[in-house]
Structure 1
Amino acid sequence: MADVTVKELADVVKISVDRLLSQMKEAGLPQTAAEQTVSDEQKQTLLSFLKKSHGESAEAPKKITLKRKATTTLKTGQGGKKAVTIEVRKKRTYVKREEVDNSAEKARLEEEARLAAEREAAAKAAAEKVAAEKAAAEKAAADKAAKPAAPSADKPKAVASKKEPAKKPAEEDVAQKRAEAEVAAKRQEEGAGRKKGKTDKKRERDDDSRFMDRDNSGNRGNRKAKVKLKGGNRRASKQANEHAFTKPTAPVTKDIELPEAITVGDLAQKMAVKAGEVIKELMKMGVMATINQTLDQDTATLVVEEMGHKVSKLISDNALEEAVTDSVSYDGEETTRAPVVTVMGHVDHGKTSLLDYIRKSRVVSGEAGGITQHIGAYHVDTDHGMVSFLDTPGHAAFTSMRARGAQSTDVVILVVAADDGVMPQTEEAVQHAKAAGVPIVVAVNKMDKETADPDRVKNELSARDVIPEDWGGDVPFIPVSAHTGQGINELLEAVLLQAELLELKAHFDGPAQGVVVESRLDKGRGPVATLLVQNGMLNKGDIVLAGTCYGRARALLDENGKQTEGAGPSIPVEILGLNGTPDAGDNFMVVESEKKAREVAEFRETKLKEQVQQRQQAAKLDALFNNMAEGEVSSLNVVLKADVRGSLEAIIASLQKLATDEVKVNVVSSGVGGITETDTTLAVASGAVVFGFNVRADNAAKKVVEANDVDMRYYSVIYDLIDDVKQAMAGLLAPELREEIVGVAEVRDVFKSPKFGQIAGCMVIDGTVYRNKKIRVLRENVVVYEGELESLRRFKDDVQDVRQGIECGIGVKNYQDVRPGDQIEVFDVREVARTL
């Protein structure tokens, strides 16, 4: 740690410089000015002095005791009415490791000294016993030798020969006793060695020596061999039980693969460290995180590098999807394809009628209310070549559908009625086409009418930056009539000319790719999706991945409902066999195996759920703060079911636009298909109304609706649905409160009453004064009090109201400062219903 000045140290410890200098002076340090430096040793000296002055020991504590108390409640008796409080107390003492180690070493030394003393005492006792036995043996031998009183002189050799054998057994006994004493001492020593914890190798040597000392049968070599074999087996079993782990002598560097998002716990597991170490490293970096918190790839990379590891590979979350996308490749050159044309325009300007004339069919008659509410996709073989058409609805509610149609098309035909001119949806169609960068061909329709004015259309579109070719612009204007067929050939020629200028090309071989135009749930055939192929060839039996849905193409149908074996670029086709209804506008592709398609679909669905949850969480937080700031917002809960996905999205967008600061539409659930029992049950639980757009409820759902009185309505035209929702939302609006002055009385004089206090003698000068309504006291046209009447009398009688021109006595409740000349204003508050 670098030296610091006295002033810097004072800032760190957050005390004044003068106080720090006084403390340093008391500690015996030489510093006397704020600019002088303080070394690390001087800091430690100061710290020791301060601890000592506060009664603390400079040394670290040797022992610490922790106490813990836990209280729980145990419910007993019938029904758990009786509660017994249980208190558990725990106490644990921790001793510093050095103290523990010293006490263990001390105990070991004491044990060794005790064992040595025992061995020495045992050896001494054995020696004394041997000496006593030897002395007794010698005395016995001497007594035995002295028994003959007068030995014969002529037989000295015999006496000598008799004494020799008497002495030999005594010496042998002494030797044997000595050996037994040594063996006993040795055994006692062995027992002490086992208590001390001798190793296996030492025990084997002791066993060897014991067997060799006690073996008198000539099998010494065999016993030794047995002992060695036994020891070898023991060593072999010990080696077999040992694990192969060896403690690393140097830091281990790991190669880590990082995904785009990883939790702290998973990152710690990859680096083989504790999660606490990763959290500490993050805290050093200024990031506060928990073990379950998710880190981004950049943060995780910094943590890995700071902890001494290497990032070997950065894994993308979309790796699975990218692998499937990259697997699609095409060989050969691209060839010219047919243009995809989107027909746009205002409602009832003749878009579908124009296409009806082109493909010689009656499409309008099949639409509810005479308007198109789905995206129609079909291709037409004309004399000038094949053209694929997308017919988008013209109503404002289907703005998102028209935008999606513009993004998947090559040329836009903008249909404008010659007798009606440019309308709001016409302007929106122009904006969508320009945003998508798609060329426009204007079809001025209804030229067969007497009121047709094509110059008006040109003038109005020129103001929107759509300049006709004959005015120096680049947009062809073709006068047409859907009834007489006027200008149809010229319109197709203009479209094909624009397509030639665009040089539209695609691969006709290889796996198909394209966009989902529409999807619906058919009761007999299941999910049906309309696909527009943009590249490759879609064949029957291919495995199709469309958004979060996948499946094998069991059948391919053209726009007329006839089965076909394949569809190439610019060909719209209906497909059966998907496991769900993909969203309109989703991209589709043909993959190799159903397994890959399922994996990618599940991955997309999981990612979509995460995004929805994040949006919902954000919406909840926003709603929370808005409610705190502006008060609670009323909401109309709706369960919506439609026949096709495009209509469903358009209706939801329209309902959300109706939201105000006080009331909003909350779509609890939405989907494609008929109304089921699950939908109605959800409506009951959430207090929602059920809307069915071109769909009906089954019998089980009708029973739930009847039993719970659920509001369920069917619609086939979007106008009616939106109008009903507007009325329902208006009913949720808080009524407007309006004040209405009903009477004014002027105070002429003030009287005192022992019962009511001050009584104002008044003349009603305007309207009628009511006793049960609120009042205001005005003084010089300024409100001085607002409250209610306590009494209203005419002479001595209590009355409920007094009309204009009549005198009365008024007692104002809780107000005793009424003066002559004041006016008492009687008003009423009325609630007025509001509308959107």
Structure 2
Amino acid sequence: MSQQTTIRKLAELVNTPVEKLLVQLAEAGMKFSGPDQVVTSIEKVKLLGFLKRAHGKADPATAEADAPAKITLNRSRKQEITVGGGGKAKTTVDVVVRKKVTLLRVDNGTGAPPTDERSEVLRKLEESRQRNLDEQQRLAESDRLRAEQIERTRREAAEAEAARLEAERVAKAASEPEVEVRKPAPGGHGRPAPRAAEPARAPVHDAKHKTRGSHAMVAGPEDDDRASRFAGQMHLSAADRARRGAGAGRGKPKGPVRRQSDQSRTGSGFMRPTAPVRREVAIGETITVADLAQKLALKGGDVVKALFKMGVMVTINQTVDHDTAVLVTEELGHVAVRAEGTTAEDLLIAHVEEGQGEKVPRPPVVTIMGHVDHGKTSLLDYIRRTKVASGEAGGITQHIGAYHVQTPKGVISFLDTPGHAAFSAMRARGAKLTDIVVLVVAADDGVMPQTIEAIHHAKAAGVPLVVAINKIDKSGADPSRVKNELLAHDVVAEEFGGDTQMIELSAKTGDGVDDLLDALGLQAEVLELRAVPTGRANGVVIESSLDKGRGPIATVLVQGGQLQKGDYVVCGVQYGRVRALFDETGQQVQSAGPSIPVQVLGLSGVPDAGDDFVVVEDERLAKDVAQQRDAKRRESRLVAQPGNRMEDILAQMGDGATQQTLNLVIKADVQGSVQALRDALTGLSNEQIRINVIGGGVGGITESDAQLAATSKATIIGFNVRADASARKVIENQGVDLRYFSIIYDVIDQVKQIASGVLGVEIREEIIGTAEVRDVFRSSKFGAVAGSMVIEGVIRRGKPIRVLRQDTVIFEGELESLRRFKENVDEVRNGTECGIGVKAYNDVKAGDKIECFERIEVQRTL
């Protein structure tokens, strides 16, 4: 027996409130007293027809006829039955009962009589159709009258034009004398023969008249419309009208048509030049072959061919110098002139000169230099009362850090430069930016190579030197020995009759730090440091990096003016609008004045460390200057080297040179590290091997970097960065050599061993597993515990780890605990969840990656 449908169940099926369904049933003419009454199939169909009529989707006259004659309902009911028991395992079985119910429509065969409502709807529909038909007829009649009026106007204009032309022809014929040539008739003795009668001229306005003259456009309206499309253009001359109208009223010719163009009449013909065209070509210091070909109006292949004949082997995308471009231009028969200077740079210089104003005293910029592990960062840390050294790899500063601090002696901006020899270029930049150099020398270690190098940088920049003799609290400290060793490098203490202040202090206990601040304040007063505090800002980029979430970030030191949020800046070959400014504590600020370092967001790309930045008035000038600088830098980089000449290549082939080339791709976390690694590694080249850095940049190792290394057979060096998934796939498939480093010593030592040809034991870091942090839990015993999923390899207890955030190393340490649920385990493999406790680090966040690695010794072989 089929189950009946009530109003409540029907409302649930159609997802409609019960009250609304009762109202719709009442409007359809079916009265129900409650939601539990049964609704029959006929009543459902009647309600459906009413709703369709209400929404204009069905014809009321055929709604009853379109009702389905049969409705089939499929019903299923699912139950769970437990089978088993009595010592046996219990099993749950799903039992599904399906029913099919077929409902037939009850029809008496007479058909329902039309109701008043249906009659009213039919009557309104018929009225609407009649109104539409009347409107269409009215519009058709209006269009016909308008067409007749246009045709009448066109015909009258054509007749008037034809009459005027006929009158001109008759007047011209009457004014010219008639010349007759008479032949003597046979036997007529020279008497003229009688003239034959002229045939009657056809009427001008004959509708069937077909002429080849200029009157073809006056054919009757029953002719082709092409014949009369120029009839109303009174401004055309008779010759143009004859040219356009000739053949316009005729059909297509059966034979081939030969077009002839009268260039003297239309003036549209192309005249071949009678002499070669000599062009004046403006050439700068460098120019690409493609640009030179465009200026010469030649194909690029022709210019390349001419250069090959001159012995210069270049491609269309390479750049040639000014002299070579002038020679090939003159060889091709053109004149070369020197291009004028860049207009955008001139506008920028004038723009900067406008913003100058009155100078006022400014805070000093102090650079701290010295040898590795002599206490530079610890001294700055004591002054700032923060922990800077804890964030560095092995306590070694890898980047330039810029900070401004409020001391009892006033505001002082500090630059902390790395002490390692590879960062010579970075320290040189620091010396150029600074007003005072603080040379930190350990009292127990004395003068070291980087100490001497820092002295040379300070002297080359002409910056006053203040010596801080650190670590006097240690047992082996000997400040007198340090002062005597500095005498050999022309650094004489005031007590020895010199002009260099030497302060004995301890960065650990704080003894003597106040005396150092007093010495810096005194030196700043002597220098009388001044700058313009208002107007457009200018300064220098100290450091730059690429952040995955915030984009390019540049740490700049403002040297003059006021840098504000929203300013347009030019920074080397990059430009942009300042979206945000951050100080050294990470707090957002609205502006920065002279001698204040800030981080800038909003540049179009990562600028090079050491680039100047200038605030300009609008974005257009900033973009023009940046693009011209970039084009000039690209052209100078692509200039054809002397080795590209055919003679040089042949000479090298004859020499049989066997020098090997080691190609490297360097990716680091900041721009300064890229430059330092590039300079340090290329300096290791010798006669047997040449180290060539073919690419580098800031940020993680991408797929394009891996493709570049695979194509050029280069080794990728990742300094505090990692490769993403797409890059790792290319590296594995192509067999690219990828090496990760976190300390610059290891990079230089490995490359130096290869370049020197020294075989020995190589220590490599092999990543054995990576886990992704899904959530962080707090434990009273271990602190922050990272709930992680192992996504690659295996995580083993006792192995060192690194914490990565956005493919950049933020911490290196070791595992404190490794657990599966509540049990300690020795290793966790790929695809398994685990809990990881990182020793002495509680800043793990969801989304970080924990990298487990091991150091292995590999014996080098030939």
Structure 2 length-normalised TM: 0.52
Determine if the alignment matches structure 1 residue 446 to structure 2 residue 471.
yes
**Residues 388 and 570, structure 1, Cα contact 8 Å, conserved in 2:** yes
Residues 772-783 of structure 1: pairs in structure 2 closer than 5 A = none
Which of 727, 740, 748 matches 1:722?
Answer: 748
Relative distance call for 1:655 and 1:625 in structure 2 (3 A) is: farther
SS of the residue corresponding to residue 347 of structure 1 reads coil
Which residue number in structure 2 is paired with residue 610 of structure 1? 635
1-structure distance, mates of 2:289, 2:593: 49
| Deviant stretches of 4+, over 4 Å | 229-235, 237-246, 252-273, 292-301, 307-311, 615-628, 730-733, 833-836
1:289-332 deviation digits (Å, cap 9, x = unpaired) = x9x9978599989x99xx99999x9721x321221232122253
Which of 691, 702, 705 matches 1:665?
Answer: 691
Relative distance call for 1:599 and 1:625 in structure 2 (3 A) is: farther
2-structure distance, mates of 1:623, 1:453: 60
SS of the residue corresponding to residue 614 of structure 1 reads coil
Relative distance call for 1:663 and 1:510 in structure 2 (3 A) is: same
- Give the aligned CA root-mean-square deviation in angstroms: 4.8
**Residues 260 and 315, structure 1, Cα contact 8 Å, conserved in 2:** no
Determine if the alignment matches structure 1 residue 422 to structure 2 residue 438.
no
1-structure distance, mates of 2:619, 2:362: 29
Relative distance call for 1:615 and 1:563 in structure 2 (3 A) is: farther
Once the 2 structures are TM-superposed, how far is the Cα of residue 701 of structure 1 from its aligned partner? 1.9
2-structure distance, mates of 1:245, 1:677: 53
2-structure distance, mates of 1:133, 1:263: 91
Give the gaps of 5 or more residues in structure 2. 1-179, 199-236, 244-261, 272-276, 299-309, 760-858
1-structure distance, mates of 2:325, 2:525: 51
Determine if the alignment matches structure 1 residue 680 to structure 2 residue 737.
no
Determine if the alignment matches structure 1 residue 637 to structure 2 residue 663.
yes
2-structure distance, mates of 1:676, 1:298: 38
Once the 2 structures are TM-superposed, how far is the Cα of residue 697 of structure 1 from its aligned partner? 1.4
Which of 344, 362, 387 matches 1:320?
Answer: 344
Relative distance call for 1:616 and 1:356 in structure 2 (3 A) is: farther
Residues 398-413 of structure 1: pairs in structure 2 closer than 5 A = 398-413=423-438
Matching residue's letter, 2:187:
E
Matching residue's letter, 1:322:
D
**Residues 480 and 486, structure 1, Cα contact 8 Å, conserved in 2:** yes
**Residues 552 and 577, structure 1, Cα contact 8 Å, conserved in 2:** yes
Which residue number in structure 2 is paired with residue 478 of structure 1? 503
Once the 2 structures are TM-superposed, how far is the Cα of residue 404 of structure 1 from its aligned partner? 0.8
Once the 2 structures are TM-superposed, how far is the Cα of residue 409 of structure 1 from its aligned partner? 0.9
**Residues 663 and 732, structure 1, Cα contact 8 Å, conserved in 2:** no
**Residues 320 and 639, structure 2, Cα contact 8 Å, conserved in 1:** no
Once the 2 structures are TM-superposed, how far is the Cα of residue 240 of structure 1 from its aligned partner? 7.7
Which residue number in structure 1 is paired with residue 35 of structure 2? none
Residues 742-757 of structure 1: pairs in structure 2 closer than 5 A = none
2-structure distance, mates of 1:431, 1:380: 27
Relative distance call for 1:296 and 1:694 in structure 2 (3 A) is: closer
2-structure distance, mates of 1:230, 1:709: 81
Determine if the alignment matches structure 1 residue 490 to structure 2 residue 515.
yes
2-structure distance, mates of 1:175, 1:686: 103
1-structure distance, mates of 2:360, 2:532: 6
Matching residue's letter, 1:486:
D
Residues 283-294 of structure 1: pairs in structure 2 closer than 5 A = none
Determine if the alignment matches structure 1 residue 134 to structure 2 residue 177.
no
Once the 2 structures are TM-superposed, how far is the Cα of residue 685 of structure 1 from its aligned partner? 2.3
Relative distance call for 1:712 and 1:132 in structure 2 (3 A) is: closer
1-structure distance, mates of 2:270, 2:613: 53
Which residue number in structure 2 is paired with residue 588 of structure 1? 613
1-structure distance, mates of 2:240, 2:625: 61
2-structure distance, mates of 1:623, 1:358: 59
Once the 2 structures are TM-superposed, how far is the Cα of residue 375 of structure 1 from its aligned partner? 0.3
SS of the residue corresponding to residue 369 of structure 1 reads coil
Which residue number in structure 1 is paired with residue 9 of structure 2? none
Relative distance call for 1:599 and 1:458 in structure 2 (3 A) is: same
1:155-181 deviation digits (Å, cap 9, x = unpaired) = xxxxxxxxxxxxxxxx9xx3446x89x
Give the gaps of 5 or more residues in structure 1. 1-122, 136-170, 184-228, 247-251, 274-285, 734-832
2-structure distance, mates of 1:330, 1:702: 50
2-structure distance, mates of 1:605, 1:300: 23
**Residues 320 and 640, structure 2, Cα contact 8 Å, conserved in 1:** no
Matching residue's letter, 2:347:
A
1-structure distance, mates of 2:297, 2:698: 49
1:553-610 deviation digits (Å, cap 9, x = unpaired) = 1111100111111111100000111121111000011122222222222221111111
**Residues 493 and 502, structure 2, Cα contact 8 Å, conserved in 1:** yes
1-structure distance, mates of 2:293, 2:607: 39
Relative distance call for 1:260 and 1:337 in structure 2 (3 A) is: same
1:712-751 deviation digits (Å, cap 9, x = unpaired) = 2211111111222233335599xxxxxxxxxxxxxxxxxx
The structure that is helix-richer by fraction is: 1
Residues 92-103 of structure 1: pairs in structure 2 closer than 5 A = none
SS of the residue corresponding to residue 455 of structure 2 reads helix
Relative distance call for 1:592 and 1:716 in structure 2 (3 A) is: same
Which residue number in structure 1 is paired with residue 718 of structure 2? 692
Which residue number in structure 1 is paired with residue 574 of structure 2? 549
**Residues 330 and 507, structure 1, Cα contact 8 Å, conserved in 2:** no
2-structure distance, mates of 1:628, 1:515: 48
Once the 2 structures are TM-superposed, how far is the Cα of residue 444 of structure 1 from its aligned partner? 1.1
SS of the residue corresponding to residue 370 of structure 1 reads coil
**Residues 271 and 309, structure 1, Cα contact 8 Å, conserved in 2:** no
Once the 2 structures are TM-superposed, how far is the Cα of residue 434 of structure 1 from its aligned partner? 0.9
Once the 2 structures are TM-superposed, how far is the Cα of residue 424 of structure 1 from its aligned partner? 0.8
**Residues 686 and 755, structure 2, Cα contact 8 Å, conserved in 1:** no
Once the 2 structures are TM-superposed, how far is the Cα of residue 261 of structure 1 from its aligned partner? 6.6
SS of the residue corresponding to residue 603 of structure 1 reads helix
Which of 332, 336, 340 matches 2:361?
Answer: 336
Residues 377-396 of structure 1: pairs in structure 2 closer than 5 A = 377-396=402-421
1-structure distance, mates of 2:263, 2:283: 42
Matching residue's letter, 2:728:
K
SS of the residue corresponding to residue 368 of structure 1 reads coil
1-structure distance, mates of 2:742, 2:644: 31
**Residues 372 and 392, structure 1, Cα contact 8 Å, conserved in 2:** yes
Matching residue's letter, 1:133:
G
**Residues 264 and 295, structure 1, Cα contact 8 Å, conserved in 2:** no
Residues 249-268 of structure 1: pairs in structure 2 closer than 5 A = none
Relative distance call for 1:176 and 1:341 in structure 2 (3 A) is: same
Relative distance call for 1:626 and 1:561 in structure 2 (3 A) is: farther
Once the 2 structures are TM-superposed, how far is the Cα of residue 416 of structure 1 from its aligned partner? 1.0
Matching residue's letter, 1:613:
L
Matching residue's letter, 1:508:
P
**Residues 259 and 297, structure 1, Cα contact 8 Å, conserved in 2:** no
Matching residue's letter, 2:573:
T
2-structure distance, mates of 1:300, 1:553: 43
2-structure distance, mates of 1:272, 1:668: 34
2-structure distance, mates of 1:691, 1:658: 16
1-structure distance, mates of 2:290, 2:555: 45
Which residue number in structure 1 is paired with residue 585 of structure 2? 560
Deviates more, 1:640-649 or 1:709-718: 709-718
Once the 2 structures are TM-superposed, how far is the Cα of residue 657 of structure 1 from its aligned partner? 1.6
Relative distance call for 1:267 and 1:663 in structure 2 (3 A) is: closer
Once the 2 structures are TM-superposed, how far is the Cα of residue 477 of structure 1 from its aligned partner? 1.1
SS of the residue corresponding to residue 394 of structure 2 reads helix
SS of the residue corresponding to residue 701 of structure 2 reads coil
Once the 2 structures are TM-superposed, how far is the Cα of residue 400 of structure 1 from its aligned partner? 0.6
SS of the residue corresponding to residue 596 of structure 1 reads helix
